[in-house]
Amino acid sequence: MELELERAELKAVLNRQRRAQGHLSGVIRTLEEGQDCADVVTSREDGARMRARLERLFLSLA
C-alpha cells in the first residue's frame, strides 16, 4: 500500500502526529512524576479536546 499525499497534506499530517506525540510524551512524563495531567495541556481549545480524550482513555483502561 502506497500513501499518496501532496507535500502540504503530508506536512500537515506529520505536524499533527508530532503534536500528538508531544502531548502523549508529556502525559507519560507527568504520570511517572505523579503530577496532574492537566499541566501538559498547551491551550484551552486543545486542552478541552485533550482532556476529553484522556478521560476516555483512562476510563477505557479502568
Identity at 1, one-letter amino acid code:
M
Per-residue model confidence (pLDDT) at position 45:
62
CA dist 15 and 21 (Å) reads 10
Q: How does pLDDT run across 1-55, given as a tens digit for each residue?
A: 566 778 888 888 888 888 888 878 888 888 898 887 666 665 556 777 877 887 8
CB under 8 A, 24+ apart: contacts of 45-51: 50/23
Per-residue model confidence (pLDDT) at position 31:
83
Per-residue model confidence (pLDDT) at position 40:
60
- Could you tell me which residues come within 8 angstroms of residue 54 by beta carbon, excluding any fewer than 6 positions away? 27, 37
